[in-house]
Amino acid sequence: MASRDRFPPLAREALTEAQRRATDAVAAGPRGGVYGPFVPLLRSPELMDCAQRMGEYLRYRSAVGTTLSELAILVVARFWNQQVEWAIHAPIAARVGIAKATIDAIAAGRRPSSLNADEATVYDVITELQNRKGVSDATFERALARFGEHGVMDLFGICGYYTFLAMVMNGAQTPPPASDAAPLP
């Protein structure tokens, strides 16, 4: 696989009107700017706009809350070997309360040994969706009992959304930003 960034950042003066609008919408939201997956997605401004709106909901307002959302994002990033997602979200996960031992275990591709019940449920839902292409009845019922239909659907959405971003950045070979997180092995 080549290592060059296939869709590097674009200068503002080179943007089309649609790209400027999409850039301004991302910059005006909680992200504050175009980085990570939004750099390659800018080549399709309507797709970028749709993606950023979905991501804004899933990342900042999901029914499972920020801490469990960040855990789910790390599991997806590890599955896809996605360095950009990892570089961005591992420090956020640590700040919102995910234990360093949990982050380290996920980075190493291991199931963390000290998950609380909610974290274990999220880990199992996301891991099963990715590895089995579905969720067992037992895991689904546990997630449903804890998070309700809304929360379970948001977990499915987080898994799908961050898988989409991982595929975009893996295909685009988007380089990771500087980060406090060690790169995935």
CATH of the domain at 105: 1.20.1290
Q: What is the per-residue pLDDT across 83-92, written as a single tens digit (0 to 9) for each?
A: 999 999 999 9
Total number of domains in the chain: 1
Q: What is the per-residue pLDDT across 7-56, written as a single tens digit (0 to 9) for each?
A: 999 999 999 999 999 999 999 999 999 999 999 999 999 999 999 999 99
CA distances from 31 to 28, 77, 116, 169 (A): 8, 19, 29, 17
What is the residue-wise DSSP string for the chain? ---S-SSPPPPGGG--HHHHHHHHHHHHSTT-S--TTHHHHTTSHHHHHHHHHHHHHHHHS-TTHHHHHHHHHHHHHHHTT-HHHHHHHHHHHHHTT--HHHHHHHHTT---SS--HHHHHHHHHHHHHHHHSS--HHHHHHHHHHHHHHHHHHHHHHHHHHHHHHHHHHHHTPPPPP-SSPPP-
Q: Which domain holds residue 74?
A: 65-172
pTM for the model: 0.95
59 within some domain = no
112 within some domain = yes
12 within some domain = no
Overall average pLDDT of the 161-173 stretch: 98
120 within some domain = yes
55 within some domain = no
Structure confidence at residue 14 (pLDDT): 96
Length of the chain: 185
